[in-house]
Amino acid sequence: MPDASQWNLRAGYRSETIIAEAIFNKWTTLGGFDIPRNGMPFVSNKMNATSIGLNIKYETPLDGLSVVANGSTTLGGRNVGQATGFNAGVFYIMDFGKKKKKEKRRKMRK
């Protein structure tokens, strides 16, 4: 596989209940060759892609419960297909018991 570089830019918003971020991603191979007219894709092919996406996380009023959603799409590229994807999920933190932190005492040096 040829060497590659990837640039990723993220900007977002955060509050007590919502985290949202927009994503710009640029993937460029630093070598390789184009797929021939009647050829098959191979790991040494040159592949470039530019994509954008959005991630959102919502912290519900229920303690430990979060809802997430994200989506992304390919804006353009070389030897890469057009792709759009969406995902959603639910997270719940299962706390199996409160753990007490031990306080460390510092020894005084004289």
The answer to whether the CB of 47 falls within 8 A of the CB of 27 is yes
Spatial neighbors of 63 by CB under 8 A, at least 6 apart, are none
Per-residue model confidence (pLDDT) at position 35: 77
Per-residue model confidence (pLDDT) at position 80: 85
Spatial neighbors of 10 by CB under 8 A, at least 6 apart, are 21, 22, 23, 24
Residue type, 103: E
Report the DSSP beta bridge partners of residue 54.
22, 71
The DSSP secondary-structure symbol of 37 reads: T
Q: Is 49 exposed, middle or buried (0-12, 13-18, 19+ CB in 10 A)?
A: buried
Per-residue model confidence (pLDDT) at position 1: 64
Per-residue model confidence (pLDDT) at position 108: 57
Per-residue model confidence (pLDDT) at position 109: 59
Tokens of 6: 């990837």
Q: One digit per residue, pLDDT tens: the chain, 110 residues?
A: 678 899 999 999 999 999 999 999 999 998 887 777 777 777 778 889 999 999 999 999 998 899 999 999 999 998 888 999 999 999 999 888 876 766 665 555 55
Q: Model-level pTM greater than 0.75?
A: no
